[in-house]
């Protein structure tokens, strides 16, 4: 069973694909569709609160026929954040939770959770701590609230959750750790909260299979023309699973996006014994 997760950085830019970057994004989305994941999670759709346009909906219907589609929009700021999930199997229920996060974070469409018979499958777009760490305190409150939410799900049935968690956990999860300790995504506070998330009963699927592997990243800065070329990246996109599912983890892959900077999709494969 295959699960794919990707921060797309604007669904509309992909569908329109009028710029070179948009064309690259559309090509990656076509590649994902060809792989026919059982569940696809998308972060940072940047859709407006009134939903998909007809063109966007038609494009998704063509790429992903016979998928069930669920979207969570930002109502706090239009055209910002947002998440989407596509599933080949209809879930028992769908939740767009608010987790008592600070400020407008609960209004930014950051979480979708699908409930199946044996498992919850969820996606999250974790808030960035921002320039000069202006949002770090709120980010820490988010991390605490989100951990509580996922733990509550886990008490009912196992969870598979994915997304842009906006943190590189350890020094081997980014190219230049020494110069980034006070930058968003690699502060001691963010890393400690990620450690607490794992300690709450969850497994980082990539690290489970590759405990010491270096140089595997999921994000390369758009501002740097050489970041992707030099593989100067960060691993900030994750699949995490309840510890009791770790034996079912079969494979993990960062999907190649060629010359496209920013986030790359990640793919989790669970073994034949696993059932939603």
pLDDT, tens digit, for every residue of 149-202?
999 999 999 999 999 999 999 999 999 999 999 999 999 999 999 999 999 999
Confidence of residue 223 (pLDDT cuts 50, 70, 90): confident
Stretch 131-144: mean pLDDT, rounded?
A: 96
Does 210 score more than 90 pLDDT? yes
Binding residues for Mg(2+): 7, 44, 164, 166, 262-263
Stretch 84-91: mean pLDDT, rounded?
A: 98
Number of separate helices (H) and strands (E) present in the chain: 6, 14
Stretch 125-149: mean pLDDT, rounded?
A: 96
Instruction: Look up the CATH number of the domain holding residue 76.
Output: 3.60.10.10
- By the 10 Å C-beta count (0-12 exposed, 13-18 middle, 19+ buried), 272 is classed as exposed
Is residue 263 annotated as part of the catalytic site, yes or no? yes
pTM (whole model) above 0.95: yes
In total, how many domains does the chain have? 1
> Is residue 203 situated within a structural domain?
yes
Is residue 256 annotated as part of the catalytic site, yes or no? no
Q: Which of 164, 173, 204, 237 is catalytic?
A: 164
> Is residue 275 situated within a structural domain?
no
> Is residue 31 situated within a structural domain?
yes
Q: Which of 125, 146, 149, 238 is catalytic?
A: 125
**In the prediction, which pLDDT does 220 show?**
97
Does 76 score more than 90 pLDDT? no
Binding residues: 7, 44, 164, 166, 262-263
Confidence of residue 77 (pLDDT cuts 50, 70, 90): confident
Confidence of residue 225 (pLDDT cuts 50, 70, 90): confident
> Is residue 259 situated within a structural domain?
yes
Q: The domain containing residue 166 runs over which residues? A: 2-270
């Amino acid at each position: 069973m295959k699960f794919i997760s990707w921060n797309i950085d604007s669904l509309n830019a992909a569908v329109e694909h009028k710029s070179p970057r948009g064309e690259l994004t559309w090509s990656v989305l076509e590649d994902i569709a060809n792989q026919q994941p059982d569940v696809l999670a998308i972060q940072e759709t940047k859709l407006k609160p009134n939903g998909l346009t007809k063109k966007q909906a038609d494009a998704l219907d063509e790429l992903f026929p016979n998928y069930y589609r669920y979207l969570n929009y930002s109502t706090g700021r239009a055209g910002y954040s947002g998440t989407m999930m596509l599933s080949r199997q209809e879930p028992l229920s769908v939740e767009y939770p608010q987790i008592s996060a600070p400020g407008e974070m609960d209004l930014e469409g950051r979480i979708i959770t699908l409930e199946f018979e044996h498992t919850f499958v969820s996606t999250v777009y974790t808030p960035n701590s921002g320039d000069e760490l202006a949002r770090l305190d709120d980010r820490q409150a988010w991390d605490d609230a989100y951990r509580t939410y996922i733990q509550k799900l886990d008490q009912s049935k196992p969870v598979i959750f994915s997304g842009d968690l906006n943190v590189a956990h350890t020094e081997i999860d980014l190219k230049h750790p020494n110069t980034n300790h006070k930058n968003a995504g690699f502060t001691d506070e963010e890393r400690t909260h990620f450690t607490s998330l794992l300690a709450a009963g969850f497994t980082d699927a990539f690290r489970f299979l590759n405990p010491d592997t270096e140089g595997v990243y999921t994000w390369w800065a758009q501002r740097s023309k050489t970041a992707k070329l030099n593989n100067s990246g960060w691993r900030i996109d994750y699949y995490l699973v309840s510890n009791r599912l770790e034996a079912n983890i079969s494979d993990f892959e960062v999907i190649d996006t060629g010359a496209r900077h920013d986030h790359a999709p990640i793919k989790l494969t669970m073994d034949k014994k696993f059932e939603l």
